[in-house]
Amino acid sequence: MLDQILCIDDDPITLMLCKKVIVKSSFSNEIITSQNGEEALSYFNTIKHTNNQNKPIPQPQLIFLDLNMPVMGGWEFLDYFNSEEFSEFNSIKVVVLSSTIDPEDLEKSKQYPMVIDFLSKPISQSMLEYLKNKLK
Amino acid sequence: MKSKTNQVIIIYILISMFVAIVSHKLLLQYISNEKIPLYTFTRDILFILFTGIIFKLILSKNDNRNISTFEKIKNSNNEIKESNEKYDIVAKATSDTIWDWKIEDDNFSWNKGIENVFGYKQEEVGENSTWWFDKIHPEDSIKMSIKLYSFIEQKTEKWQDQYRFRCSDNSYKYVLDRGFLLKDENGKAIRMIGAIQDITKQKEEEQRLKLLETVITQSKDSIIITEADSIDAKIPNIIYVNPAFSIMSGYESVEIIGKSPDLFNSPNSDVSELEKLLKAIKNKEECLIETISYTKNKDEYWVRLSMIPIYNADNELSHWISIQRDITEEKKQEKEKEQLIRELTQNNKDLKQFSYITSHNLRAPLSNLTGLLNLIEDITIEDQELKEILSGFNKSTHQLNDTINDLVKVIIIKDNPSIKKEAVLIKEIFENVFSQLNFQIELYKPIIKLNFEKISVINTNKAYIESILLNLLTNSIKYKSENRKLKITITTEEIDDTVVLIFKDNGIGIDLVRNRDKVFGLYQRFHNYPDSKGLGLYLVKSQVETMGGTIGIESEVNKGTTFTLTFKNKQ
């Protein structure tokens, strides 16, 4: 079981579903959510600055990332997250969880080293079992 | 002649002397008077000498006159001989046919030419003018005779005419006939002599050239002929322009001859194209360019222009020919077409994007619904009514999900015109398909006959061919007849460069008379079955066509259906 995971999605129902399924599958102890890429980045910035004050804050071990979001979408988030600025978080793995059907999106996701999988919504218990095995 | 005169005189003097001497001797014998005979003798001698001198004078004068007359006759004789010789030489040298017409007697005679040129034997030739007129082409005869008679009546100075003259083999020859009149002392025309020249070859050549000339004069393309050499690195000067050029450029030919076509250049002319042209001229090479030109009124037009070097018999550049066409309209259309293609491409791209976004936006809430329903499954519901409602909700959601997934498949196929192909074992594909349909096959136990002996490998996209065969097999099972055991036959064969896959069942069939146009259409259903969406055959056709193949169908109600799939086996 993971300690903390981050779900980034603008749709509250999806987030609710994620929480419920994750709890049900005992996939993670803690679930935190962000409504878009920008919110997620500011969360990581908070971690960065709090760490500086020698108060360690637990980091998410996995991110479920949606692609189409207002303010900052999944791709833009990945671009920032992949940059020097967030290099201390580069061990965090990302799973793209989207309802896209555009084959180009799948290709594009392969360019980011932290993206370990590209999965189609909805999140399900079987999907989480699969990920558990993959992360072992 | 002269000596003869002298001889006569000498003989006369000698004989006279002899007679005088003999008479004197005789007289001396009979007359003794010595003085008288000497006197008579001397008088006789003197008389003889005197008459001799008189004779001599008369004869030599006569002689002189005779000599001059003789000289004259001799000269004129020579002249006649010479002119006869000349005539003979000319008559032999000329190919003209000479005729001689004594107008008053209407007596007409021809020289050898009438046989040599026109093929008439001497006995065939008529001896009057009617025979001549009769041989003139009907279309030419009236015009010709008007001109001829006005000449004979001396209303016109000269006579020469061109007409067609019929040969003995009934073909016609173009002739040039020239004649002159001989008049009597009253100035009346009594005789006419003419020479007919065969100009058929020239005439035919003239007509051929005229015909060829129409190509230039009637052409809708502009044609320019220029000198061979260029001055100051310009295009060589123009020596001819055809009428089409005047229409295109607005310049009359007199305004433009002797000038360089450089003056058609407009500020918008394509500099690189003009350089190409000048380089070709320098290298004496043919070239084709497209550029903007100026008309006389400084209107711009697009022109496609070729420049062709023309060489003479000595292989020296003699001039250039330039053929030009106004392609303004063509260019405009090309531009419009490009614009249209650009717009269509953009539209298509937008629509594609739109379909992805729409399907994404449809799928996002749908996936939530599916996810939520999955959660409900684990919750025990006591309320029977709620259970029923949720079950209906569940069914509808999954149906919606299936439909959207199918549509997504279509979008992806349509968006992917060129897909990867590989050599696939047909047997392998069927193994995969059968394992997916394992449940149905176990349930209905159809008789499936496979014959891949002729062709076992097919060059195709594996995912597509699997989807195609899965759809066809599912259809066969879904639409099997209730009255007989389902039998499916699948064979492959090679025809020319193609692989043909024949898929045959004995199911309920489709009424093709009514539905042939719709069989492969989107959302076309022919049987009221609950789980039929009318998408399967549409997908199959899309996938077959995406791989560059074709699909055909033959079907009879209650007998069965046969699909024929044809694929190109080579890339």
CB atoms within 10 A of CB B284: 11
Alpha-carbon A104 to chain mean position: 20
Q: What is the pLDDT of residue A93?
A: 93
**pTM score, two decimals?**
0.49
Q: Is B372 on the interface with A (CB under 8 A)?
A: yes
DSSP per-residue codes, A34-91 = ESSHHHHHHHHHHHHHHHHTT---PPPSEEEE-S--SSS-HHHHHHHHTSGGGGGGTT
Q: What is the pLDDT of residue A39?
A: 93
On the question of pLDDT at B416 being above 90, the answer is no
- CA gap B360, B367 in Å, rounded: 10
With CB atoms and an 8 Å threshold, state whether B368 touches A103: no
**Cβ atoms of residues B549 and B567 within 8 Å:** yes
Q: What value does the mean pLDDT take over residues B137-145?
A: 91
Band of pLDDT at residue B225, cut at 50, 70 and 90: very high
On the question of pLDDT at A50 being above 80, the answer is no
On the question of pLDDT at B26 being above 90, the answer is no
Find which of B374, B412, B418 to mutate to test the A interface (most A CBs within 10 Å of its CB): B374
| Closest residue in B to A98 (Cα–Cα) | B364
Chain A / chain B CB contacts < 8 angstroms: 58
With CB atoms and an 8 Å threshold, state whether B416 touches A125: no
The pair of structure tokens assigned to A125 is: 């218990």
Which of B359, B370, B408 is opposite residue A122, by nearest beta carbon? B370
Q: What is the pLDDT of residue B93?
A: 65
With CB atoms and an 8 Å threshold, state whether B372 touches A17: yes
Band of pLDDT at residue B329, cut at 50, 70 and 90: very high
Q: Is A87 on the interface with B (CB under 8 A)?
A: no
On the question of pLDDT at B415 being above 80, the answer is no
| B415 Cα to chain A: minimum distance (Å) | 10
Which of A17, A100, A125 is opposite residue B368, by nearest beta carbon? A17
With CB atoms and an 8 Å threshold, state whether B363 touches A21: no
Q: What value does the mean pLDDT take over residues B366-373?
A: 90
Q: What is the pLDDT of residue B33?
A: 65
With CB atoms and an 8 Å threshold, state whether B363 touches A122: no
pLDDT above 70 as % of chain A: 96
Band of pLDDT at residue B379, cut at 50, 70 and 90: confident
Alpha-carbon A49 to chain mean position: 20
- CA gap A94, A116 in Å, rounded: 6
Q: What value does the mean pLDDT take over residues B381-397?
A: 90
Band of pLDDT at residue B271, cut at 50, 70 and 90: confident
Q: Which of A44-58, B271-285, B306-320 has the lowest mean pLDDT?
A: A44-58
pLDDT above 70 as % of chain B: 95
Q: Which of B96-100, B161-165, B558-562 has the lowest mean pLDDT?
A: B96-100
Q: How are beta strands B447-451 and B487-495 bridged, if at all?
A: parallel
Q: Is B333 on the interface with A (CB under 8 A)?
A: no
Q: What is the pLDDT of residue B503?
A: 93
Mean pLDDT of chain B: 86
| Closest residue in A to B371 (Cα–Cα) | A122
Which of A17, A99, A103 is opposite residue B412, by nearest beta carbon? A103
The pair of structure tokens assigned to B265 is: 């250049």
| B419 Cα to chain A: minimum distance (Å) | 13
Tokens 């074992």 locate to B425
pLDDT above 90 as % of chain B: 23
Q: What value does the mean pLDDT take over residues B298-324?
A: 91
Q: Is B416 on the interface with A (CB under 8 A)?
A: yes
On the question of pLDDT at B409 being above 90, the answer is no
